[in-house]
Structure 1
Amino acid sequence: MEQHDQRWIDELAGLGYSAVEPLAGGMEGAVYRLGGGTVAKVWGRRDERDLIGIKEFYDELADKGLSFATPRILRIHGSELGHCTIEEELPGTPLDQTAPCVDGDPGPRARDHVLDVLAELGAVSPSGGLGRLPVMDESVPFRDSRSDWAGSLTALIHRRLSRFGPQLDSAVTDLPGKAERVKRLVRAWGHGRDGLVHGDLITANILVDESLRPTAVLDFGFLTTPGDPAFDVAVTASIIDMYGPQHRRIEAAFDEAAIKRFGYPRELLLLYRAVYALITSNAYDPKGADGHFRWCVDMLERDDVVEVLNS
């Protein structure tokens, strides 16, 4: 999580915002409330060109008729500290604060609302700017008009393993064999309808009203792309409570509800978890010395995942 920085508070005060208040932090950066219905988001690793692309993405997403709000960039500001965006403040309270988890479990009502959000995003017909975002720390769009989901995903797996394969290979049994089986299965399975994949849909990124109805969704960008909606379901179910002692039970409850609602094969959800582990293992630490890397290793060694890869 990006930490709040007094230098940015001073920078924003210099722009005329006299009541800057640290608000939140996420994978992409720190957020400050500015007053007057606006917030500032400090981006840890995005340049102006990236942010122009993100603004175009947000502008196009706003026209998709979603029942909840999504971010809108009003202004891009650059300084020696980096870049921030001035954005509309979105309505609602984070779902994880409104429906506190019990042992990591947000409960059935909150789970149903998360699935509501996934259903709406999965029904989006991506076009134009929605397909031009890079993912993670890459500098080029994950997909273009000539590439399909399966081809883009297998290419991303290849690029990530070219960079970080040695760390994973030292920790994962038969990594080359597993990676090849993952790519083969993605090519066999991954040719369905595209929706919009959020890629980091945790309860903190969903704002809700007092009845838990989603009012806004935040923090697009980390793995946001046109793609198979089942990928977003698989990832969300696993990262709602990544590190808690009940994470497998919580994941299973999400799977059960998602399979009932969307009809996805359980094997596809497990395959996409293996994909997520391969592509994000070093997203937070290039050396793989963090908890996320260990989580990805464990996912690639899980009996149920290995069984699907060997099928």
Structure 2
Amino acid sequence: MDAAMEYFEKQAAGPVELIGQGMEGAVYDLGGGQVGKVWFNRTPDEVLPLQEFLDELKAQDLPFRTPEISAVDEVGERAVSIEAKLVGTPLSQALESGRVSQQQGLDMFVDVVAALATTHAGSASRTLPVVEESAPFWRYRVSWGDALAGLVSRRADKSQHYLQADVEGFEELVDHVLAKLALLELRNLQIVHGDICTPNLLVDDDGRLALLDWGFYTTAGDNTFDASTAAGFYDMYGPDARAIDDQLLGRFEELGHDRGRMYLYRAAYAITTATIYSEDGSDGHYTWCVNNLNREDLRAAL
């Protein structure tokens, strides 16, 4: 990390200060409207496709701000990037402080998903890997359903030791998910963010939004996938989590998203990410995934 700091100090217009870090990397304020990112597990060759994708994303003319990568380099065997700084407060903090009301936050989520429904996925969105994988999500795949089914199958094999114990009829559930994904026939694909949650949505002083952290589950796909997952991500662990989830699912259904398909994608997401943060299923995300896979309404739909 010292080598990366030295690199950033040469690029910086002011003091280099840590802004925060997530699963994929640590982000530093460089001053002058720029930030630097140290990627934990990606090489420069793996970050360059993301840079190309973000350029493709910018051309979509979305009503919220998105990241832009101006440079990609390698320092101390780690990929580093220089990006435009997106100013604002994470929605999670704005909700906690009361600066943004619950209703306003829910409306923001619905608006972001609805805006992504207007996008058109290009070639750059098909080159990205998702979750822990290194190969592009669309590699050798001819359809969205086929690509997602392949991921579900691979990740189910990796997590089955734990999920078989905690999810009733897990193997049969996986079979149902794979069968339904195989039936999907979608001609027009949108850009899927895949991780629309309150920490990833910034709100500035003028109420403008910015959507961060593209890349974890970002690909060319079905906007209903973002509707399904965003509904569950708004409040994952609070006492009102299920009620808020159901409310958002209902709002997305009113916008034309099929309830059964949203449940299908929720199951696919839960299977593919259950052990993404802890291989032994010892974290809260694993519990959230298990609870979703055991939901009566989800199981009935599948």
Fold in common (TM above 0.5): yes
- What is the DSSP-based 3-state SS (H/G/I as helix, E as strand, rest coil) of the residue aligned with 2:26? strand
Write out aligned runs for 1:149-228 (5 A). 149-189=144-184, 191=186, 193-214=188-209, 216-228=210-222
Contact 2:3 2:75 in 1 (8 A): no
- What is the DSSP-based 3-state SS (H/G/I as helix, E as strand, rest coil) of the residue aligned with 1:13? helix
Q: Deviations over 1:101-142 (max 9, x none)?
A: 77xx96122211221111121211111112110001101111
- What is the DSSP-based 3-state SS (H/G/I as helix, E as strand, rest coil) of the residue aligned with 2:82? strand
Which residue identity does 1:254 align to in structure 2?
L
Structure 2 equivalent of residue 269 of structure 1: 262
* Counterparts in 2 of 1:199 and 1:101: CA distance versus 1, 3 Å: farther
**What value does the CA root-mean-square deviation take over the aligned residues?**
2.2
TM-score by length of 1: 0.89
* Counterparts in 2 of 1:230 and 1:106: CA distance versus 1, 3 Å: farther
- What is the DSSP-based 3-state SS (H/G/I as helix, E as strand, rest coil) of the residue aligned with 2:86? coil
Confirm or deny that 1:256 pairs with 2:256: no
Higher alpha-carbon deviation: 43-52 or 159-168: 159-168
Q: 1:221, 1:287 → 2: CA distance?
A: 24
Among 115, 130, 133, the alignment partner of 1:135 is 130
Write out aligned runs for 1:31-42 (5 A). 31-42=27-38
Q: 1:134, 1:67 → 2: CA distance?
A: 26
Contact 2:227 2:257 in 1 (8 A): no
Among 281, 293, 297, the alignment partner of 1:288 is 281
Q: Deviations over 1:8-60 (max 9, x none)?
A: 54553355565011112233222111101100112121111111111111111
CA displacement at 1:87 relative to structure 2: 0.6
Write out aligned runs for 1:90-109 (5 A). 90-100=86-96, 107-109=102-104
CA displacement at 1:7 relative to structure 2: 7.0
Confirm or deny that 1:237 pairs with 2:220: no
Confirm or deny that 1:298 pairs with 2:294: no
Q: 1:50, 1:43 → 2: CA distance?
A: 10
Q: 1:55, 1:69 → 2: CA distance?
A: 15
Structure 2 equivalent of residue 120 of structure 1: 115
Contact 1:100 1:106 in 2 (8 A): no
Q: 2:224, 2:123 → 1: CA distance?
A: 22
- What is the DSSP-based 3-state SS (H/G/I as helix, E as strand, rest coil) of the residue aligned with 1:84? strand
Which residue identity does 1:152 align to in structure 2?
A
Higher alpha-carbon deviation: 55-64 or 201-210: 201-210
Q: 1:93, 1:37 → 2: CA distance?
A: 16
* Counterparts in 2 of 1:137 and 1:184: CA distance versus 1, 3 Å: same
CA displacement at 1:66 relative to structure 2: 1.5
Which residue identity does 2:240 align to in structure 1?
Q
Confirm or deny that 1:278 pairs with 2:299: no
Q: Deviations over 1:124-172 (max 9, x none)?
A: 1111112110001101111158521111111111111222222222222
CA displacement at 1:93 relative to structure 2: 2.9
Q: Deviations over 1:228-277 (max 9, x none)?
A: 111111101111211222110111121122222x2222222222111111
- What is the DSSP-based 3-state SS (H/G/I as helix, E as strand, rest coil) of the residue aligned with 1:270? helix
Percent of residue pairs identical: 36
Instruction: In structure 1, list runs of 5 or more residues that go unmatched.
Output: none
Confirm or deny that 1:79 pairs with 2:75: yes
Q: 2:87, 2:9 → 1: CA distance?
A: 23
Structure 1 runs of 4+ with >6 Å offset = none
Structure 2 equivalent of residue 30 of structure 1: 26
Contact 2:90 2:202 in 1 (8 A): yes
Instruction: In structure 2, list runs of 5 or more residues that go unmatched.
Output: none
TM-score by length of 2: 0.91
